[in-house]
Structure 1
């Protein structure tokens, strides 16, 4: 029984973590956000909002592309005024990618859209189930195998 639950969770996580699943969701969330904000640049904005200023090389593993891929996406975001580059105080040869105020507002809009999308998908759940799921998911991420 326990092993069955583990397999069920692993299968569900496999679906959630698939790049195609994330890309499809990011495409929906970024619709109408402007030319620079799309399913390719969303992960860069999101990661910078979570972690603060980082170099393209440091951001690459979180975004799931190599440093040059992050740099290309960052250039689009910079041209749109959503991020800027500043010298890395620890390495004069490197630059940090930093969200601008406009970039911060874009991230807030994207997070609001994601929260609304999630709540819409849970609207048919019985009262209390969504709250319990949120608590259990939070616990799983803090205490589970990804902690």
Structure 2
């Protein structure tokens, strides 16, 4: 059996059997395809929320809905981007009437962000449309396969969270 060099996420390269290495390469390739499709879908979902919404802002809007009330510094850390980048996107979301801000009672210099009612309604419509698309896409699969896919993705996401680089991909 031949061996290939594979670099684990942390530490020194280790020797891995070639067949095993190929499996990891296949996962890396398929995740790349999935991530590209995900970005395209997020851009499309963003346009469904509001025609003027930038492609990257959809994920930000989703996160604000999940973590509200959220501080911009926490959002910047979550997405692994600078505060200036987040501030620009938040300004657009606020101008579109999708989010609102209120002073943070614990820090007078900061603001807490939350979806407006309009933002919540638009986001829910877009998410509902996306869920229907996933149902149509996976509707031919047995339910247990869909559940297994959800479990494996959750497991992968939890692992990526512990590695600290989930938002860098």
Residues 35, 64 of structure 1: alpha-carbon distance in 2 compared, 3 angstrom cutoff: farther
CA distance in 1, matches of 2:160, 2:155: 11
For the residue of structure 1 that corresponds to 2:69, the secondary structure is: coil
State yes or no: 1:10 paired with 2:62: no
TM-score, normalised to structure 2's length? Answer: 0.68
* Corresponding residue for residue 26 of structure 1: 42
Range 30-39 or range 81-90, more displaced: 30-39
Cα RMSD, aligned residues only: 2.6
Larger Rg over CA atoms = 2
* Corresponding residue for residue 9 of structure 2: none
How many residue pairs match? The answer is: 144
Provide runs of 4+ in structure 1 moved above 6 Å: none
* Corresponding residue for residue 92 of structure 1: 108
- Runs of 5+ unmatched residues, structure 2: 1-18, 163-169
For residues 84-124 of structure 1, the C-alpha deviation after alignment (integer angstroms, 9 at most, x for no partner) is 11111221111122111221112212221221222232234
Higher strand share: 2
For the residue of structure 1 that corresponds to 2:135, the secondary structure is: helix
Range 44-53 or range 106-115, more displaced: 106-115
- Runs of 5+ unmatched residues, structure 1: none
Q: Do the aligned partners of 1:60 and 1:70 also contact (CA within 8 Å) in 2?
A: yes
For the residue of structure 2 that corresponds to 1:12, the secondary structure is: helix
